[in-house]
Amino acid sequence: MTKTAIITGISGQDGAYLAENLLDRGYTVYGTYRRTSSVNFWRIEELGIANHPGLKLVEYDLTDMGSAIRLLVQSEATEVYNLAAQSFVGVSFDQPLATSQITGLGATYFLEAIRTVNPAVRFYQASTSEMFGLVQAVPQREDTPFYPRSPYGVAKLYAHWMTVNYRESFDVFGASGILFNHESPLRGREFVTRKITDTVAKIHLGQADVLELGNLDAKRDWGFARDYVEGMRRILQHDVPDTFVLATGRTETVRDFVSLAFKEIEIEIQWSGRDAEEIGTCTKTGQVLVRVNPRFYRPAEVELLIGDAAKAKAELGWEATTGLEELCAIMVRADLKRNAAQRSF
């Protein structure tokens, strides 16, 4: 029998890759999107699944529990992947209440709908390494204490604990994946890796002069999104609902990622200056290609993330398989192609 899953946030990076993964396995997928005057499905279009007969696109408001109930009843889904969120950390400082509503409460509306309709429906919550925030211990694991550093991190931590609580209180199959940063050519351009690869491609093509960034010292554990959605799927197929960290176990600075991306277009960057005065120049021409702009600093920063995914490896057989150099190369090449065709999202 074919399975049916609901994915909230089908228009996002992970929604698109997860839909691809599940459709390939014969699932029927109900992908939810929010109503706007101009919905953009460029990611599922890029993956060639926008018109897949197994994919049903449904308009859905995350804060309308009636919609969640009707969606569960109508679809008869047995799995829900709750990926929709205001997911940009920087914006969460400007919109803390909207972020709490969508990123935090959005999960509870769905959990409550599942509890009401059918507690046997499996629920995956997209938790995040941002919940670890201010470093308490490294590498971060499932039992590392949380200390979120942004309204986004706080909202996600609430949703995470609600998922655990519904698991323990109401016997709902609520599973949580604490995922470290995962990137791809489908990443939004507001996130640092894609901003870097997109601007590097534009510089190569003569469409931009300089890359402006905030904190270059932040360290992240970056993996490839396509690997991570497979982890999500496995978390929900596990025999018991549980919490799992998904990460690569390697951390690098934003500065390192910039150097890697420029290497893809055969430019070596020399770094000089400090903090807001730091610049990156081309070793051959001396041209300034990277500059710090404090506009991109955050009121509170997460300085270091590095995850330990040993539990996922032992219990789910999951591990990240794409190295950072390969990931960066995939992203730069995709952005070179898109920008050359003047078709970049």
Contact positions toward ligand GDR, by CB under 6 A?
A: 87, 89-90, 128-130, 180-181, 190-192, 195, 213-215, 218, 220, 254, 296, 298, 301-302
Total residues interacting with ligand NDP, rule: CB under 6 A: 20
Q: CA end-to-end span of the chain, whole Å? A: 37
- DSSP string covering 27-67, please? -EEEEEE---TT---HHHHHTT-TT-TTEEEEE--TT-HHH
The entry of ligand GDR, ligand NDP, none near residue 12 (CB within 5 to 8 angstroms by kind) is ligand NDP
Residue 225 phi/psi, 5-degree rounding, is -55, -35
**Cα dihedral 322→328→331→335 (10° resolution):** -170
Whether 148 contacts 130, CB under 8 Å: yes
Cα separation, 258 vs 260, in Å, equals: 5
Render the burial of 57-92: b for 16+ CB within 10 Å, e for the rest. bbebebeeeebbbebbeebebbbbbbbbbbbbbbbb
The entry of ligand GDR, ligand NDP, none near residue 324 (CB within 5 to 8 angstroms by kind) is none
Whether 77 contacts 60, CB under 8 Å: no
Q: Let me know if 128 is a catalytic residue.
A: yes
Site for ligand NDP in 231-290 (CB under 6 A): none
**What is the 3-class SS of 264-306, one letter each residue?**
HCCCCEEEECCHHHCEEEECCCCCEEEEECHHHCCCCCCCECC
Q: Is 188 in the site for ligand NDP (CB under 6 A)?
A: yes
Least distance CB 74 / ligand GDR (angstroms)? 29
Work out which of 6, 19, 55, 102 binds ligand NDP, going by CB under 6 A.
102
User: Active-site residue among 152, 158, 166, 228?
Assistant: 152
Least distance CB 128 / ligand GDR (angstroms)? 3
Of the pair 27, 152, the CB lying nearest ligand GDR is at: 152
Work out which of 84, 114, 289, 336 binds ligand NDP, going by CB under 6 A.
84
Least distance CB 61 / ligand NDP (angstroms)? 7
The entry of ligand NDP, ligand GDR, none near residue 84 (CB within 5 to 8 angstroms by kind) is ligand NDP
Q: Let me know if 130 is a catalytic residue.
A: yes
Q: Is 87 in the site for ligand NDP (CB under 6 A)?
A: yes
Q: Let me know if 116 is a catalytic residue.
A: no
Residue 36 phi/psi, 5-degree rounding, is -140, 170
Q: Is 22 in the site for ligand NDP (CB under 6 A)?
A: no
Of the pair 13, 150, the CB lying nearest ligand NDP is at: 13
**Cα dihedral 197→201→204→208 (10° resolution):** -90
Work out which of 6, 29, 85, 245 binds ligand NDP, going by CB under 6 A.
85
Can you state the angle between helices 13-24 and 225-237, rounded to 10 degrees? 60
- Binding-site ranges for ligand NDP (CB under 6 A): 9, 11-15, 34, 62, 83-87, 102, 126, 128, 179, 181-182, 188
Query: Which residues are known catalytic residues?
Result: 128, 130, 152
